[in-house]
Amino acid sequence: MRLWRNSTSRSACPHFACSALFLGFLYVNLVPGALMIGMLWFSLDSSPKKLKMLREGDWPGIIAMAII
């Protein structure tokens, strides 16, 4: 039983997921994101990673923000 199928639709998937408009909203940030990554790649200086600074992070606060 397909609960999302309405009387006018013959598609097996929900209408909002199959429409080109939905896919357009899904991919709207790909071009700006690629441009930003490209600009950062060439503009930032490569330096050694400071992985020891991860110990000083506010991990309970980060986890709380991720949950809420």
Retrieve residue 7's tokens.
């009387």
C-beta of residue 15 within 8 angstroms of C-beta of residue 6:
yes
**What does the alpha-carbon distance between residue 63 and residue 24 come to, in Å, rounded to a whole number?**
32
Tokens 């600074």 appear where? 53
Retrieve residue 43's tokens.
């503009």
Residue 5, pLDDT above cutoff 60: no
C-beta of residue 35 within 8 angstroms of C-beta of residue 42:
no
Taking the whole predicted model, whether its pTM rises above 0.75 is answered as no
Interval 23-66: pLDDT, tens = 676 677 788 889 999 999 999 888 888 899 989 999 999 999 99
